[in-house]
Amino acid sequence: MSDRITHRFARAELLAQALTHRSAGAPHNERLEFLGDALVNLIVAEALYAHWPQADEGALTRARAELVRESALAPIARTLELGPRLTLGPGEMKSGGHRRDSILADALEAVVAAIYMDAGFEACRTAVLPWFEAAIAALPPPHKVGKDAKTRLQEWLQGRQKPLPVYELHAEGGEDHAKIFQVTCTLTQPPLVTEGTAGSRRAAEQIAAEAALEQLKALD
């Protein structure tokens, strides 16, 4: 584990806590996650500031949001093989918590905080920054970063003076730890209804909006 994250812990208990989910009891990683979230934001913000010397605050903010969101952090956690090393309570183990994006992203942030607590900010940045370098290098130009599907759909419609879409929750199901939301996106001009299904209503709306955009581009 230490080799994979390129940091050798002087205080192994910090790493153990960072990899302990609250379902397994105390000491767990929630406080470390809180600190790690701030550290990740700072490290990524600093890297973007250097990467885009001419970008404005809005572009930098959108790019940072893209890089530190749950769906971006979870793959890093998988690369570091955090999942199999997590300490989970029986319920989370049974439901596959070691594979869940939210738990993996939280654990990654907790590991970042553990490195910081173990060795300070410079050591933390040295270990953590390489995890994000490829994603930063792959970012599109600043003016194209961070506009989600709902925003792009709204801009497409407004640019053509057409009514805005209406999003409605069509169905909701699943266990509390694995909810599924089905949402519809309805347009009147042109008449179009698309669907999105995801683990949150917001994510389902984004999927439905993306589907609408794809169909509109085919018609445009």
Q: Is-contact 150 156, C-beta < 8 A?
A: no
Cβ atoms 19, 86 nearer than 8 A: yes
- The backbone torsions φ and ψ at residue 83, rounded to the nearest 5 degrees and listed phi first, read -50, -55
Residues 86 and 5: beta-carbon distance below 8 Å: no
220 is in an annotated binding site: no
Contact 205, 150 (CB under 8 A): yes
**Parallel, antiparallel, or unpaired for β 166-173 and 191-198?**
unpaired
To the question of whether residue 109 is assigned a binding role by annotation, the answer is: yes
- Residue 37 bears catalytic tag: yes
Distances (CA, A) of 66 to 24, 88, 148: 30, 28, 10
Annotated binding residue 168:
no
Cα 193 to Cα 13, 188, 196, 216: the distances in Å are: 53, 9, 10, 11
Give me the catalytic one of 3, 46, 101, 109. 109
172 is catalytic: no
Residue of 37, 92, 205, 210 marked active site: 37
Active centre residues (catalytic): 37, 109
Q: Which residues are annotated as a binding site for Mg(2+)?
A: 33, 106, 109
Q: Which residues are annotated as a binding site?
A: 33, 106, 109
